[in-house]
Structure 1
């Protein structure tokens, strides 16, 4: 993959310790393919920054003023302000890490940072995030198709009851109407359900 083709991973840093923020900013400035687009010293500012900048990754300290990293992670992920959240924590914060993971964080980095572990940790978290979002998309598509199938089945049943059609005839009728009107079978089925008095 050429340099032009390689996509830059954008990062937002949030830690109330300015030294930590500077350390990470310096580290990522030396890493091709990574760019820090914003930073904050408290959780509320992190949420607002992610809302505005929409980074790929939000790195959040667990212990922050105004709003904790856990609270910020929950809001950022619920609202889709970042694709992935990674928590920054000390070894003693195991309970907080568990709590953060329950809020949706994909992993964590421990302080003091071990430079050789930062990028591998981010890569794993980004991979998990992509898998998670792909599964969510597939689930939404399955739910939509299931809803459409149920609507078509309802329309078939109403046609069978009101017009004395067989199931096959009712299906062919919906399919043909869909073709003639250049509409999806689900839209045609919804129209038939409304017209035949089968709307809930």
Structure 2
């Protein structure tokens, strides 16, 4: 059995000790203990445990409220709440908050361990699903960036989009960098050029300068303040209220 990291939260030290002993004997690692919901949240922010086993009724920040914070902030994927009372209203609220299980005290080993195993298995499924969703979102975002860079490269170099794509792919291989990163760099450069062009046009109109004189003014500011051309252009436009 792997060493899953578990946090125990209960305002009764004896119960925390009992849970720790049961969990340790069954191959789990207790990453920390807390006596109230407030400390539980802070502990989970530090430890990012695989599972939190937490009492509901505590003097400072009850377990249900703490569970809502822990789950909403992604501090742990998995919470089991424990109570001395079989309260249907609490059970409904716990279910709504995304709590994995709700156990009634006294919690014996034969009840606790199966509940822990089931909760961790479900948590693993949820984590896997989240990772897949995150990867899909990232892939979609990268595809859009590559598509924009491909179109820009094709337009500026007077080549087909297929040739632009091959150029991006070759750059990616040569630089040993993802196509999305190469595409981002191309788009960033284009954005910087557009920014500099806008500042140049502003200076030409404002001071009746030639295109070359306006460019030299941006370049001088860049040199004086040790900024990039686009940063110098941004400062000019900011000062102009653009």
Aligned-residue RMSD, C-alpha: 2.6
Where 1:108 maps in the other structure, the secondary structure is strand
Where 1:109 maps in the other structure, the secondary structure is strand
Tell me how far apart the structure 2 counterparts of residues 44 and 12 of structure 1 sit (CA, whole Å): 13
Residue number in structure 2 paired with 1:7: 2
Where 2:26 maps in the other structure, the secondary structure is coil
Tell me how far apart the structure 2 counterparts of residues 176 and 52 of structure 1 sit (CA, whole Å): 43
Q: Summarize the Cα distance change of 1:182–1:113 in structure 2 as closer, same or farther, 3 Å threshold.
A: closer
Point out the more displaced range, 81-90 or 128-137. Answer: 81-90
Residue number in structure 1 paired with 2:26: 32
CA deviation profile, 1:67-101 (whole Å, cap 9, x unmatched)? 01122113333445445211112453232233223
Q: Summarize the Cα distance change of 1:54–1:164 in structure 2 as closer, same or farther, 3 Å threshold.
A: closer
Number of paired residues? 193
Q: Which has the higher strand share?
A: 1
Residue number in structure 1 paired with 2:51: 57
Tell me how far apart the structure 1 counterparts of residues 82 and 39 of structure 2 sit (CA, whole Å): 16
Point out the more displaced range, 75-84 or 173-182. Answer: 75-84
Residue number in structure 1 paired with 2:211: none
Structure 1 unmatched runs, 5+: 1-5
Residue number in structure 1 paired with 2:103: 109
| 2:50 maps to 1:47 | no
Structure 2 unmatched runs, 5+: 196-242
Tell me how far apart the structure 1 counterparts of residues 128 and 169 of structure 2 sit (CA, whole Å): 31
**Larger relative CO (CA 8 A, sep 6+): 1 or 2?**
1
Contact 2:23 2:113 in 1 (8 A): no
Where 2:2 maps in the other structure, the secondary structure is coil
Residue number in structure 2 paired with 1:124: 118
Tell me how far apart the structure 2 counterparts of residues 132 and 175 of structure 1 sit (CA, whole Å): 34
Among 160, 164, 189, which residue is 1:166 paired with? Answer: 160
Contact 2:53 2:79 in 1 (8 A): yes
| TM-score normalised by L of structure 1 | 0.81
| TM-score normalised by L of structure 2 | 0.68
Contact 1:193 1:199 in 2 (8 A): no
Tell me how far apart the structure 1 counterparts of residues 187 and 96 of structure 2 sit (CA, whole Å): 42
